Amino acid sequence: MSMYRTVNPATGEVVEEFPTATDQDIEEAIRGARKTYESWRALPVTERAHLMGRAAELMRHRKETLAELITEEMGKRTEEAIGEVELSADILQYYADQGPRLLADEPLDPASGGDAVVVSEPIGPLVGIMPWNFPQYQVARFAGPNLVAGNTILLKHAPSCPRSARAIEQLFADSGFPPGAYTNIFATNDQIQTILADDRVAGASVTGSERAGSAVAEGAGTHLKKVVLEMGGSDPFIVLDSDDLDATVAQAVRGRMGNTGQSCVASKRMIVIEDLYDEFVDRLASAMGAMTCGDPTDPDTQVAPMHSEEAAEELMEQVQDAIDKGATVHTGGTRPDRTGAYFSPTVLTGVTRQMRAFAEELFGPVAVVYPVADEDAAVQLANESRFGLGGTVVSADPERAKQVARRVDTGMVWINSPTWTEPDLPFGGTKRSGIGTELGEPGIRQFLNRKLVRA
């Protein structure tokens, strides 16, 4: 059985398998990426950006086909899958439009006189290790800026998304990118370590689990390679007050249930001021309990399957651990009696530090709600996590919310809205959520040589 195979999570059907790369395949991919890098970096940035604009246009043209692959491979609802492809195209277009400006020389004014300028140069072939939960978006935010910058890409996608991986590679080829600029590799973890050790490869970017990020960071560190890591989160959704509790709960549901809860920046921990807590829990449980599981291709479906049977089983173990140790289930807490990797929307309270659900990331449709006495207690609980990716602060007073947001130890905080992503806004975390920043201006500067030229 190949490790790279498409399994429809709604039915359990094995759709297609792909052979894992041989060591010779990996050698040829590295050689091709390095050879192309020498000519690719020499192209004017405007030409590289022009090709990226063609890729964005082609992605929009193929959005239904690409979305179908996403839904088939990881179970995303069709509407969300199309939205993901559109967002990915917007990211490629952003770097097509803004890349030349972001990479322009930066004159300095030395105190000692004379001339000085900082120039932005690519550093070489990069390897990307991407996850299954956003098969197009994760690749776009890595490959888009780095290809425009003049680097070349070796891309190891999640083993459960091989058809999406092939489609992305074909899209760049059809957009006019030369062979070796973007190469899909169905590599093993051992082969990734071989790639990291190769002097022809300059850096690595990983979005995935802490284990995957740590393994790649260790290999990259051994060989002094630059890394960018995004390793998940357990984002707080802090409710300080509300002048429309129904709207606040609707935002919490959106933040928790998008992509069936399988998002690093999902609102996973609801931290609510005591005065609102009971009513918030009741309304959240009512709203999530009313959501029904169904075929992700059906427009009426509210809850799609999780990406795999293994993921659903792992989430069930985490929830059952909380139940066994005294947590209260307000809705859900079980898997529905139907074929597929489904999990019922679940609301838990009474979660304590002795439970896995307190410290671990719950990567699925499970919300944990905590009461707190005041905003100081809210911030303290929000920060009591090894993760620090995103977060939300809700208040009728936006200025109050902004002040509290500055005290939350995460890379991003959104006010009165669940954490999300936009092409021109930086995306990244702190603590065990990662190293480095993607998207926006910082996203194109992660794998550059910012070289000083002094005269």
Give the active site residues: 230, 264
Residue 117 neighbours by CB distance under 10 Å: 13
Which of 248, 190, 197 minimizes the C-alpha distance to 369? 248
- For residues 352 and 252, the answer to whether their CB atoms sit within 8 Å is no
User: How many Å apart are CA 423 and CA 108, to the nearest integer?
Assistant: 28
User: How many Å apart are CA 206 and CA 129, to the nearest integer?
Assistant: 5
The residue to which tokens 């086909």 are assigned = 65
Taking the alpha carbons of 168, 174, 177, 180 in that order, is the dihedral positive or negative?
A: positive
Which of 23, 48, 15, 73 minimizes the C-alpha distance to 185? 23
User: How many Å apart are CA 236 and CA 272, to the nearest integer?
Assistant: 10
Which of 2, 351, 328, 391 minimizes the C-alpha distance to 160? 2
CA angle (88, 92, 96) in 5-degree steps: 165
- For residues 172 and 178, the answer to whether their CB atoms sit within 8 Å is no
Which residues have C-beta within 8 Å of that of residue 257, sequence separation ≥ 6?
288, 291, 302, 303, 345, 365
- For residues 321 and 357, the answer to whether their CB atoms sit within 8 Å is yes
What is the SS3 assignment for 186?
coil
List the strands of the sheet with 116-122, edge to edge.
106-108, 116-122, 448-454
Residue 147 neighbours by CB distance under 10 Å: 27
Which residues have C-beta within 8 Å of that of residue 405, sequence separation ≥ 6?
391, 393, 413, 415
What sections of 120-226 are H helices per DSSP?
A: 137-149, 162-174, 189-197, 210-222
User: How far, CA to CA in Å, does 345 sit from each of 199, 274, 303?
Assistant: 48, 23, 8
Half-sphere exposure of residue 150: CA atoms within 13 angstroms, side-chain side? 20
What is the SS3 assignment for 343?
coil
Residue type, 306: M
